[in-house]
Amino acid sequence: MSQSIFGTKIKELRLEYKFSLRRFCLAMDIDPSNWSKTERGILPPPRDTDFFEKLATVLELDRLDIKVIELRDVAITESGSIPDYVMSNKELLGLLPMFFRTVGNGRPSTEELEKMVKLIQSTIEK
């Protein structure tokens, strides 16, 4: 398996903050052997919110720092699953068919797109 985008980005971030693999794993309380496999794309990236909150703490970043948010989004995308914040929101979940039509060139109306954007923004702000 080739290195994942998540693996590349997290390794770059780890090195940017001057963490060796072992020091990073110690700070994050994760197994270095398994984490190395995650960075190389052999194991899937973590998806849970706790991991990304701890990552922000270890790197001394705000949990809403764009580096943390983008990394979390890549992890969710690579996992091929729908994020928990979407699955737990019935209204947002109901808009998924429109979203998939959009991605598949189904051309939703302007009103549908505006409704989806407002709902996503309100979910993120909570």
Integer-rounded Cα radius of gyration of the chain: 17
Q: pLDDT of 16-48, one tens digit each?
A: 999 999 999 999 999 999 999 999 999 999 988
Cα of first residue to Cα of last residue in the chain, in angstroms, is: 37
Residues shown for the chain: 126
Whether the pLDDT of residue 1 is over 60: the answer is: no
* pTM for the structure as a whole: 0.66
The answer to whether the CB of 77 falls within 8 A of the CB of 39 is no
The answer to whether residues 74 and 96 belong to one domain is no
> Quick check: helix, strand or coil at residue 76?
helix
The answer to whether residues 93 and 39 belong to one domain is no
The answer to whether residues 42 and 96 belong to one domain is no
In whole angstroms, what is the distance from residue 35 CA to residue 100 CA?
33
Side chain identity, residue 20: S
State the residue range of the domain holding 121.
Answer: 84-125
